[in-house]
Structure 1
Amino acid sequence: MAWYVSGLLMLLSILILMGIGLPIAFTFMAVSLFGAYVFMGGMFGLEQVVANASTAVSSFSLVPIPLFLLMGELFFHTGLAMRIFKSIDVLIGNMRGRLAYLSVISGTIFAMLSGSSMANTALLGGLLVPEMERQGYNRRIAIGPILGAGGLAMIIPPSALAVLLGSLAKIDIGALLIAGIVPGIVLAASYIAVIFAKIKFDPDCVPDVAPTSHSVKEKFQAIFLSLLPVSLIIMAVLGSLLGGFATPSEAAAIGAIAVFLLALSLGLVTLRVIAKSLIATVKVSAMILMIIVASSTFSQILAFSGISANVVNGTVSILDGQIAMMLGMLVVMVLLGMFMDQISMMLITIPIFIPIANTLGFDMVWFGIIMLLSLEVSLLTPPFGLALFVMLGVAPSGTTLGEIIAASLPYTACIFALIALVIVWPELATALPGLMM
């Protein structure tokens, strides 16, 4: 069977199984098992899949995933997220468009503690959009900043997706996590700039400043009882990574323990909270480990059948130069993002893109950041961007998908602008990991 026929059959099988609603992990596992049987010698191929599975999931580099997930689950289930949200609101005080700025600032801090874009979007959307609508905010400025800020968890550490990408693509996970700090902060700043510009040129999109009064005592409590302890946790996790004092696994353990101890000291820990956090962590971790098994097998089948080599050689011969190749891969990611979730995109593209990137001599940390940013774009691309539907689920009744898509456009443009900036100025992503090394 010709390699392109094999590749087309595998791709069609994936699309059909996903189309009928089979979960991602089971889809890729089914196709991988079939491919192993056909291309790797029948039962011998299936035995090889079993051998590869134990090797794939026993890697020490995967330890940060459940620990970062546990850190995020504790952060949300204990109510720490709400305390931080209210504390930031107290400190912002009287400011035109206060709630729009609050969504970006809160989303950035939540991203540094949870690593979950969907959870951030759902929490901020459920809390802020109805309140902004009640106060008279334009619907676009109520929804847009939350869509943008929710996606920051995909690039700012502790990003579970960054750990998964690093594991699948064999990129240094610690360097990849650190590399996301500066682009993430730049992206958050660009969102704030968009809000400022919109209010400047269209003052009627937000209501007049409502007088609020917070005592010095309330502000003191907001800083020293909520924000300072959380800031110390963030600095402990990121500082230990930046300083080279801890591996990603150790930094994740520090973060999970620190969040637990902070919640315990505030009386927010109960057996029910612990149970919910652990169950959610185990569910997601099990799904990710199964995806890793399927992905490693899928990559081997692509290599064994000759699909990877032929696609890499053909693509390199057609697209001449690093920039042209990068733009071609970005176009593919954007198109896939219109119809697929982030993990499916990674599983399909990594076996092809990583060999191409290695062939062309890309800095893999830099390339990983660009992939994460393109995955972040896919959260907001219609018709099936996940963040769009999460927002549709928590927004006030009467909100249409068209309104949500329109609200997301300026923030999607910010991500594209950042991708261009990282391509032109790679040091934006590589400087911090370089200092760490």
Structure 2
Amino acid sequence: MDWLYPFAVLVGTVITLMGLGLPVAFAFFATNIAGLMLFFGGVRGIEQMVSNFSEAVGTYALAPLPMFLVMGSLYFRSGLGERVIHALDLVVGNLRGRLSYVVLGAGAIFAALSGSSLANAGMMSSLMAPEMTKRRYKPHMAYGPVLGAGNLAVIIPPSTLAVLLGSLAQIDVGALLIAGIMPGLVLTTMFCGLIWFQTRIDPDAAPQYPVPQIAGRQKLKAVMVNIVPMSFLVFTVVGTIIMGIATPTESAALGCAGVCLLLVIYRKFSWGVVWRSLDDAMKVTGMTFLIISASMTFSQVFAFSGASNGFIQSVISLDLGRYGIILLMVFTLLILGMFMDQVSMMLITLPIFMPFAAQYGFDTVWLGLILLLAIEVGLATPPFGLLLYVVLGASGGDMKLATVALAALPYVLLTLVLIALVVAFPQLALWLPSLI
């Protein structure tokens, strides 16, 4: 049990420092320095940590991350998103709970364009939640779909979290991005079914109101003008990877160029929008690369100290089996998700989880998608689920955390159902990547 000492020191220190409010990157750097002094040769270990920096952030697989961020920011800041919402609103018509369906449909489309859950939920909250509240939608019908739409961006490509997880866990980023398409569509369908069921059992939850009759020709025009061009962007990002035309990095560059082209076509292009988008991406990318640098050293110290191998052998001796190990991983992420942000969860758990992939012969793309889905649940679980606070901010303080959390609960349960489906039917995640 010699591994327990380094395991407790490393994991306990980083969790304690983050609990005290230290930023994630600095919590890991402080833990790394302590671990290097204790287990890695002192000053020589610190020199190794410094030399890791260029190797960590110079990984080619990370190149799509800033470009996906730029693409999403350009799309949201330009106002193109509002045009998609307007078109979906016309298409849905006078269906009960129509605004909930619009939020979910727009969220699925934006997920394929932004890759950011917080940006997705933030836009839906600011644009749609006030209108739904004004129409006397109950909280679970107004805010639940917003939370569901935010979660979709975690797995529907291009997911920035998927790029980060693939880079940290050394998983094929392109395959991991593509693996999220089918589960993302299944999850969107289940969310739509949930809205239909909720309006059936409680019609007053989403009161109907008069909607002007729109001719089919006008609906078709709205779709062709505002939604079909977005499918062009989806093809440039996702289709080019599937067809082998482009790598994830090249597809990200094509996506940025495609958004800029649409901005010119719709007369939304301005250098101010470009500059603000670059500024958004720079801030997130800088902090992300700093975290990745700290994570690489943490993984090395964790392995060198014997904590990683000792923990793995101890878990294997419990004879939980393949499905037992998956269940343990998912349960761990669900618990951590109540208290940590998603990046912190990945940094702590991936050095522990990924060796099990080799030990049990797991397909790393399949396992990575399962971990992404479990991490997704953490975005909408109290007390620190980030999406909950995005929605609370949009409500202007009129909602309580418990109310928003209850609105998210059915969507969380359906995501857990999807995890079970992916575990039971791996081809749900692996079929499309097999075509690359």
TM-score normalised by the chain length of structure 1: 0.97
TM superposition shift of 1:53: 1.5
Q: CA deviation at 1:308?
A: 0.3
Which position in structure 2 is the counterpart of 1:241? Answer: 241
Partners in 1 of 2:185 and 2:319 — Cα distance?
32
- Please give the secondary structure, in 2, of the residue aligned with 1:384: coil
- 2:140 is aligned to 140
Instruction: Quote the residue 1:353 is aligned against.
Output: 353
Mapping of 1:269-308 within 5 angstroms? 269-308=269-308
Give the Å deviation of 1:171.
0.6
Q: Distance in 1 between matches of 2:228 and 2:323?
A: 43
Give the structure 2 partner of residue 405 of structure 1: 405
* 1:282 shift after superposition: 0.8
Tell me if structure 2 keeps the 8 A contact 1:129–1:396: no
- For structure 2, list consecutive stretches of 5 or more residues without a partner in the other structure: none
Q: Give the distance between the partners of 2:120 and 2:19, measured in 1 at CA.
A: 27
Question: What is the SS of the residue equivalent to 1:151?
Answer: helix
CA deviation string 1:232-258 (max 9, x = no partner): 111222110111111100111111110
Q: Deviations 1:65-91 (Å, cap 9, x if unpaired)?
A: 111111111111111111211121122
Shift of 1:220: 4.6
For residue 208 of structure 1, report the CA deviation from its aligned partner: 2.1
Q: How much does 1:209 deviate?
A: 3.7
Letter in 1 for 2:434: G
Measured after TM superposition, the shift of residue 200 of structure 1 is: 1.4
Query: Which residue identity is paired with 1:277?
Result: S
Alpha carbons 1:130, 1:396 under 8 Å: kept? no
Give the aligned partner of residue 341 of structure 2. 341
Name stretches of at least 5 consecutive residues in structure 1 with no aligned partner. Answer: none
Q: What is the distance in 2 between the residues matched to 1:213 and 1:23?
A: 53
DSSP-derived class of the 1:245 partner: coil
Distance 2:51 2:178 in 1: 33
Deviations 1:219-239 (A, max 9, x none): 354223221211111122211
Aligned length in residues: 436
Q: Name 1:180's counterpart in structure 2.
A: 180
For residues 140-179 of structure 1, the aligned pairs below 5 Å read 140-179=140-179
Offset at 1:14?
Answer: 1.2
**Secondary structure of 2:237's partner?**
helix
What code does the residue aligned with 2:254 have?
I
Q: Residues 155 and 181 of structure 1 are in contact (CA less than 8 Å); yes or no, is this contact kept in structure 2? A: yes
Letter of the aligned partner of 2:307 in structure 1? I
Letter in 2 for 1:22: L
1:4-403 counterparts in 2 under 5 A? 4-214=4-214, 218-403=218-403
Letter in 1 for 2:153: A
Determine if contact 1:233/1:255 at 8 Å carries over to the other structure. Answer: yes
Which deviations, in whole Å up to 9, do the C-alpha atoms of 1:42-72 show, x marking residues without a partner?
2211111122221111111111111111111
Task: Give the match's secondary structure for 2:432.
Answer: helix
Q: Percent of aligned pairs with the same residue?
A: 45
Indicate conservation of the 8 Å contact 1:116/1:160, yes or no: yes
Question: Retained in 2: the 8 A contact 1:95–1:209?
Answer: no
Assess if the C-alpha contact under 8 Å between 2:6 and 2:306 holds in 1. no
3-state SS of paired residue (2:227): helix
**Structure 1 counterpart of 2:407, which letter?**
A
* In structure 2, distance between residues paired with 1:50 and 1:218: 60
1:132-183 CA deviation, whole Å, 9 max, x = no partner?
A: 1111211211111111111111001000110111111111111100000000
Q: CA deviation at 1:372?
A: 0.3
Contact map agreement 1:125 1:394 (CA 8 A) in 2 = yes
Provide the C-alpha distance between the structure 1 equivalents of 2:44 and 2:317, rounded to a whole number of angstroms: 35
**Structure 1 stretch displaced more, 207-216 or 278-287:** 207-216
Displacement after TM superposition at 1:211 (Å): 2.2
Normalised to the residue count of structure 2, the TM-score between the two structures is 0.97
